């Protein structure tokens, strides 16, 4: 089944970002550390344009460290400022704020020279759904100095969170939907939970996931589901897992639906281990960046 999903409010969301970004000094672009390529949207780069930006690889706690290191090197080579982050646990937040501050420094200096000492640098978070934007905003809000009121005039109706001295974060993130033209990316987005479960075929996604895991992470799969070895097709492995985990219906048949759900849930929660799906080596087959 081909995954095809274009929510109607996409154009509106895009317009909203374009409007907000005008008043932003530094952009925080969030990607899913497990699938940086699949969770990116080329439109975001266009919208950021020449503005300084920090690329945040979020959910780093769920990603394979070795693969993540390669991604960090890859983006740094492209001149990007990259931070690996665990928004839920908070690891990496300080480094991220430091990087944003560094990018903001020239503006602050410039304003100071002109006597505008009270002006703060404004930042906003952009990313696809489920990448962790709200989690990050909440984390920053909780550790923030204060929630600032509307800045009258130019930013009417907007709420800002002061995340450091002279550094404000717009509390509404910019949401953009991923491009689903590439079916490998689409399946990986589905596997990680970035696209709604109602628009993809679960059997298809779980079969592809198991197929990839059995190539790149066979030991993790065996350990999690207490399998002696991986044999047969991905469907055989799924059935084996179903049996091991007691997903059985009358007639001693495997409850496949339940097994698919279980695997997907456990993968998303990181219970199978730290696993990355996008690899730097995938780049030529995607042609996505
Ligand atoms: P969004 O605003 O970009 O749509 O994403 P949101 O913050 O709602 O996060 C989506 C899910 O990802 C949430 O899980 C959230 O807890 C989880 N998440 C966000 N950042 C991280 C991270 O760095 N590491 C890990 N492991 N998880 C992260 P959920 O199951 O939908 O909600 P909850 O039960 O965790 O609250």
Tens-digit pLDDT string for the chain (289 aa): 565 555 566 778 888 888 899 999 999 999 999 999 999 988 888 889 889 999 999 999 999 999 999 999 999 999 999 999 999 999 999 999 999 999 998 988 888 888 877 788 999 999 999 999 999 999 998 765 445 544 444 455 678 999 888 899 999 899 888 777 788 999 999 999 998 888 889 999 999 999 999 999 999 999 999 998 888 999 999 999 999 999 999 999 999 999 999 999 999 999 999 999 999 987 655 544 4
CATH code of residue 239: 1.10.1580.10
> Is the shortest distance between the CB of 178 and ligand 1 below 6 Å?
no
Is residue 1 a part of any domain in this protein?
no
Distance 143 CA to ligand 1 centre (A): 18
- Judge if the beta carbon of residue 192 lies within 6 A of ligand 1: no
Residue 17 is given by DSSP the state: H
Residue 103 and residue 241 share a domain: no
- The answer to whether residues 23 and 84 belong to one domain is yes
Same domain? For 23 and 147 the reply is yes
Contact 30, 131 (CB under 8 A): yes
Residues 59 and 190 in one domain: no
What's the CA-to-centroid distance between 286 and ligand 1, angstroms? 26
Choose one of 175, 201, 235: the last residue of a domain: 175
CATH of the domain at 18: 3.40.50.300
Domain assignment of residue 107, yes or no: yes
The reply to whether ligand 1 has any atom less than 6 angstroms from the CB of 135 is yes
In this structure, are 30 and 145 located in the same domain?
yes
pLDDT at 4: 56
Under a CB-based contact definition with an 8 Å cutoff, are residues 66 and 36 in contact?
no
Residue 5 lies in a domain: no
103 and 198 together in one domain: no
Question: Residue 26 belongs to what domain range?
Answer: 10-175
Q: Which of 159, 175, 191 is the last residue of a domain?
A: 175
Claim to verify: residue 103 and residue 238 sit in the same structural domain: no
- Residue-level pLDDT at 177: 80
Complex ipTM more than 0.90, yes or no: yes
Q: Which of 175, 206, 225 is a domain's end point?
A: 175
Co-location of 51 and 153 in the same domain: yes
Exposure string for 192-202, b = 16+ CB within 10 A, e = fewer: bbbbeeeebeb
Q: Is the CB of 87 within 6 Å of ligand 1?
A: yes
Are residues 194 and 76 part of one domain?
no
Rounded to the nearest angstrom, the distance between the alpha carbon of 132 and the centre of ligand 1 is: 5
- Whether residue 225 is found in the same domain as residue 144: no
Per DSSP, the residues of 203-226 read HHHHHHHHHHHHHH-HHHHHHHHT
Q: Which atom of ligand 1 is nearest to the CA of 30?
A: 3
Q: For the chain, give me the number of helices (H) and strands (E)?
A: 11, 10
Same domain, 98 and 234: no
Q: 138 and 253 share a domain? A: no
Task: Examine residue 100 and state whether it is found in any structural domain, yes or no.
Answer: yes
Is residue 193 in some structural domain?
Answer: yes
Number of domains in the chain: 2
Whole-angstrom Cα distance, residue 130 to residue 183?
19
CA-angle at 135, arms to 131 and 140, nearest 5° = 125
């Amino acid at each position: 089944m081909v995954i095809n999903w274009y929510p109607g409010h996409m154009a509106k969301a895009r317009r909203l970002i374009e409007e907000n970004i005008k008043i932003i000094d530094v952009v925080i672009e969030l990607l899913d550390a497990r699938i940086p390529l699949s969770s990116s949207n080329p439109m975001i780069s266009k919208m950021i344009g020449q503005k300084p930006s920090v690329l945040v690889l979020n959910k780093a706690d769920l990603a394979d460290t070795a693969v993540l290191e390669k991604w960090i090197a890859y983006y740094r080579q492209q001149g990007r400022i990259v931070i690996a982050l665990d928004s839920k646990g908070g690891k990496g937040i300080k480094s991220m704020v430091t990087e944003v501050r560094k990018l903001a420094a020239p503006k602050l200096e410039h304003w100071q020279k002109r006597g505008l000492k009270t002006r703060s640098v404004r930042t906003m978070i952009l990313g696809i759904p489920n990448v962790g934007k709200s989690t990050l905003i909440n984390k920053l809000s909780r550790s923030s100095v204060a929630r600032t009121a509307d800045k009258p005039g130019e930013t009417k109706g907007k709420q800002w969170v002061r995340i450091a001295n002279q550094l404000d974060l717009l509390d509404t993130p910019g949401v953009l939907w991923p491009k689903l033209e590439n079916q490998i990316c689409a399946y990986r987005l589905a596997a990680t939970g970035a696209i709604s479960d109602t628009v993809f075929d679960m059997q298809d996604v779980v079969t592809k996931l198991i197929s990839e895991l059995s190539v790149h992470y066979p030991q993790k799969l065996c350990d999690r589901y207490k399998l002696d070895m991986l044999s047969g097709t991905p469907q055989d492995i799924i059935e084996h897992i179903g049996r091991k985990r007691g997903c059985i219906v009358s007639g001693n048949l495997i409850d496949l639906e339940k097994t698919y759900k279980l695997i997907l849930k456990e993968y998303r929660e990181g219970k199978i281990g730290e696993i990355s799906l996008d690899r730097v080596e995938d780049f030529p087959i995607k042609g996505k960046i």
